Amino acid sequence: MEQLASYIVQWLSTYCLEAKQDGFIVGISGGVDSALTSTLCAKTGLKTMLLSMPIHQQPEQLSRARNHMDWLGVNFSNVERLEVDLTMVFESLRSSLPESAASHELSMANTRSRLRMTTLYALGQTHRCLVAGTGNKIEDFGVGFYTKYGDGGVDLSPIADLTKTQVWDLSKHLGISPEITSAKPTDGLWGEDRTDEDQLGATYPELEWAMEFNGDESNLTARQREVLLIYRRFNNLNRHKMQPIPVCQIPEYLKS
């Protein structure tokens, strides 16, 4: 585990220095992915800005985020913490939209994520910091469980090749609080405490299995078949997020 952490820390340091930036900015949600990403960024010794951006946030999520930022602040002198409450910004935007959009639950959930991305880049550019993504392998390349141009809008992705299980294991190794590593994963985009499993219909270990499965389906259990269907449905539905933006290639004879 220590070698894995060191490898990612070195990768982050090299990328940042080659990009001629001063450090990183990470959105802190109170979840394990952002906790691990921010800890790895802090371990580079480069400037690491921790940004909490509550929007009608559940109290326990906000508490975990603040506690984690406090913990990093005690252990790393290169860490700077900041909280920007975006609730009023979100409500102002929603009140300006047509009712059809303002009342669309998924659209408004994704709008929260996109407001946070805008805030991260506003502060990141100001302080010469790269926006560090917090997505893991299952979310980013399996089921596409992120917001396009929201939490999917980042400069680099240090943990996107780690499964959620690996994220949990590495987080525990690095001493991240059990209140975070044992919390049920949630994207924090809904008014209630809706978990990732509630939205996906499967656990992360189940989805990890489905992502790697490439065998005979005839001997699978009923639950395994169900999980495969869930995984494939999300993978197909969200493929537009995981592939390059399609470009209409114009024949040369039409350009002349």
pLDDT in tens, 50-80: 999 999 988 999 999 999 999 999 999 999 9
| Distance (Å, whole) CA 44 – CA 5 | 11
CATH number assigned to the domain comprising residue 223: 3.40.50.620
Residue 193 has pLDDT above 80, yes or no: no
- Output 228 or 186, whichever has higher pLDDT: 228
Q: Which pLDDT band, with edges at 50, 70 and 90, does 188 fall under?
A: confident
Read off φ and ψ for residue 104, nearest 5 degrees: -85, 110
Q: Is residue 68 included in any domain, yes or no?
A: yes
Sign of the four-CA dihedral 188, 189, 192, 198: negative
Please give the radius of gyration of the chain, using alpha carbons only, rounded to the nearest integer: 19
Give, for 48, the enclosing helix (H) or strand (E).
strand 47-52
**pLDDT tens digits, 114-169:** 999 999 999 999 999 999 999 999 999 999 999 999 999 999 999 999 999 999 99
pLDDT of residue 192: 62
Residue 233 domain flag: yes
Whether residue 33 is contained in a domain is answered as yes
Q: Which residue has the tokens 């991260």?
A: 120
Mean pLDDT, the chain, as a whole number? 95
Q: Are 230 and 202 in contact (CB under 8 A)?
A: yes
pTM for this entry: 0.93
Q: What is the per-residue pLDDT for 186?
A: 85
Question: Coil, helix or strand for 82?
Answer: strand
Tell me if 110 is assigned to some domain.
yes
Residue 224 lies in a domain: yes
Structural domain including 227 reads 2-251
Closest CA to 80 of 150, 12, 23: 23
Q: Which pLDDT score is estimated for 191?
A: 65
Identify the band that residue 189 occupies on the pLDDT scale cut at 50, 70 and 90: confident
Number of domains in the chain: 1
3-state DSSP percent of the chain in helix, strand and coil, to 5: 55, 10, 35
**Is 256 part of a structural domain of the chain?**
no
d(CA 224, CA 54): 37
pLDDT category of residue 45 using cuts at 50, 70 and 90 = very high
Note whether residue 203 is domain-resident.
yes
